[in-house]
Amino acid sequence: MEIYSFVWNMLAWSVTVAVLGLVTFPWAMLTYKIWHGNKEIDEELGEELFTRSFYYGWALAFAAVGFTLCDNATITWFELPEGPIHIVYYVCFVSLTAWWSMYFFSLEDFLQGIVFAVIYLYLPAAILFVLWKIIGWNIVFTYVCSWLLVPTE
């Protein structure tokens, strides 16, 4: 089904951007500034923003690897269909990303965490997708795709 390949692609790009958080964690600082808008950032948070971004980027990268391994293990060991399992792990990963956004950056509610997570994950994913279409090669995305089994049907 077409929905399964869409979710597979979204999961693959989400994991790719999250794993890149090991080196691009300053993107979380910029994401917070984009999310926060024109309002002035508190002095306390301004000083801690780099540290929070570092912990957020690294924690999300390790969580992405864990979700990818669990996704692969669930499909391989229990011989479950790929499509629905990818949907479950994708929803869980985005939910964890939103919750950690809320936790690490002291956001007020889960909806703010979702908005932060969408900016953090899918703005770079869109840029990487366009570059991937132009160049035709992305080593991290190719490696992530090798771990995520392609849905059949």
Task: Write out the residue range of the structural domain in which residue 15 sits.
Answer: 2-147
Q: What percent of the chain has pLDDT over 70?
A: 99
Count of domains for the chain: 1
Q: Is the pLDDT of residue 134 over 80?
A: yes
Token digits of residue 4: 């399964």
Give a yes or no: residue 67 inside a domain: yes
Q: Is the pLDDT of residue 44 over 90?
A: no
Q: Is the pLDDT of residue 153 over 70?
A: no
Give a yes or no: residue 153 inside a domain: no
Rounded to whole angstroms, the Cα distance separating 52 from 62 reads 16
Give a yes or no: residue 60 inside a domain: yes
Give a yes or no: residue 93 inside a domain: yes
pTM of the predicted structure, to 2 decimals = 0.93
H-run or E-run covering 91: helix 82-104
**Amino acid at the residue 115:** V
- Provide the 3-class DSSP secondary structure of residue 109: coil
Give a yes or no: residue 122 inside a domain: yes
- pLDDT tens digit sequence for 78-99: 999 999 999 999 999 999 999 9
Strands (E), 57-134: none
